[in-house]
Amino acid sequence: MERNPIRRQLAIMRQSLFDQGHVDEQFVQLEELQDDANPNFVEEVVTLYYRDSARIILNIEQALERKPFDFRKLDAYMHQFKGSSSSIGAKKVKAESTLFRECCKSGNGEGCMRSFQQLKKEYATLRKKLGAYFQ
Amino acid sequence: MAHTLPSGNQASDQDKWDSGGLECKRQLLIEIVMRNRLTALVVDGDTTCWVPEQELLHSYGVQTLGVDNSRDAVDLIASDAEFNLIIIEKILLVLNGLEVTMQIREIGVRCKMLEVTACSGESERQAFLATGVDVFIEKPLDPEHLVPILGELDGQ
If DSSP states are collapsed to H, E and C, what string results for A15-78?
A: HHHHHCCCECHHHHHHHHHCECCECCHHHHHHHHHHHHHHHHHHHHHHHCCCCCCCHHHHHHHH
For B50, which residue in chain A has the nearest alpha carbon? A87
Asked if residue B148 has a cis previous peptide bond (ω within 30° of 0), the answer is no
Domain ranges, ordered by start, for chain B: 39-155
Shortest distance, CA B31 to any CA of chain A (angstroms)? 18
Q: Which among A39, A45, A76 has the least Cβ separation from residue B52?
A: A45
CB A33 to CB B52 under 8 A? yes
Characterize A73-97 residue by residue with b for buried, 16 or more Cβ atoms within 10 angstroms of its Cβ, and e for exposed. ebbbbbbbbbbbbbbbbbbbbbbbb
Residue B25 predicted with pLDDT over 70: no
Q: Is the pLDDT reported for residue B31 higher than 80?
A: no
In angstroms, what separates the C-alpha of A108 from chain B's closest C-alpha? 19
CA distance A125 to A74: 23
Cα(A122)–Cα(A124) distance, integer angstroms: 5
Question: Nearest-CA neighbor of A30 among B15, B50, B55?
Answer: B55
ipTM: 0.90
Taking only the tens of pLDDT, chain A with its 135 residues reads: 557 888 899 999 999 999 999 999 999 999 999 998 899 999 999 999 999 999 999 999 999 999 999 999 999 999 999 999 999 999 999 999 999 999 999 999 999 999 999 999 999 999 999 999 998
pLDDT, tens only, B95-147:
888 999 999 999 999 999 999 998 768 888 899 999 999 999 999 999 999 99
State whether residue A59 sits within 8 Å of chain B by CB: no
Contacts of A87 in chain B (CB under 8 A): 46, 48-49, 52-53, 139-140
Phi, then psi, of B138 in degrees rounded to 5: -80, 140
Q: Indicate the fold that domain B39-155 takes in CATH.
A: Rossmann fold (3.40.50)
* pLDDT attached to residue B119: 76
- Reading across the β-sheet that carries B112-117, which strands appear in turn? B63-67, B39-43, B85-88, B112-117, B135-138
Residue B117, H or E segment: strand B112-117
pLDDT at B89: 92
A37 interaction partners in chain B (CB closer than 8 Å): none
Q: Which of B100, B94, B93, B84 is nearest to B132 (CA)?
A: B100
Mean pLDDT of chain B, nearest integer: 82
Q: How many angstroms separate the Cα of B45 from the Cα of each of A50, A53, B30, B64, B74? A: 15, 13, 27, 15, 14
Q: Which residue of B has its CA nearest to A82?
A: B118
| Domains annotated on chain A, with CATH | 5-134 (1.20.120.160)
Examine the pLDDT at B4 and tell me if it is beyond 50: no
Residues of B in contact with A17 (CB under 8 A): none
